Amino acid sequence: MNKTELIKKVAAENGLSQKAAAAAVDSVLSSISDSLAAHEPVTLIGFGTFTCRHRDARVGRNPATGKKIKIAASNTPIFKAGKAFKEKVN
């Protein structure tokens, strides 16, 4: 399922126009992104938790040439599925 299909499903299940559903989906995704950018975890009970984890700088290798390269420090979004979500998938 991609974002367009998600918007269509939200619109159909809630009796909304696709424009209203798109605004709702965009708002949710934007809120999650903004919270993670501020290093605040987002917990959706029954679904899961989004957090941001810091990765230190490190040395890697270019697979094409084998040369060592420096990989800069970065923050990586992490998702941990909740119990109810795991049970539904299984």
Q: pLDDT category, 13, cuts 50, 70, 90?
A: very high
Check residue 81 and give its pLDDT. Answer: 96
Check residue 56 and give its pLDDT. Answer: 96
Whole-model pTM: value is 0.80
Check residue 62 and give its pLDDT. Answer: 93
Verify that 61 and 86 share a domain, yes or no: yes
pLDDT tens per residue across span 36-85: 999 999 999 999 999 999 999 999 999 999 999 999 999 999 999 999 99
Q: Report the alpha-carbon distance of residue 44 to residue 28 in Å, rounded.
A: 12
Query: What mean pLDDT comes out for the span 15-42?
Result: 96
**Mean pLDDT score across all residues of the chain:** 95
**8-state DSSP, 68:** E
CA 14 to chain centre: 23
Beta bridge partners of residue 53, listed in sequence order: 76
What does residue 36 show for φ and ψ, rounded to 5 degrees?
Answer: -65, -35
Tally the domains of the chain. Answer: 2
Provide the 10 A C-beta neighbour count for residue 21. 20
For residue 64, the enclosing domain spans 39-90
Verify that 75 and 88 share a domain, yes or no: yes
Verify that 50 and 8 share a domain, yes or no: no
Verify that 86 and 48 share a domain, yes or no: yes
Verify that 56 and 87 share a domain, yes or no: yes
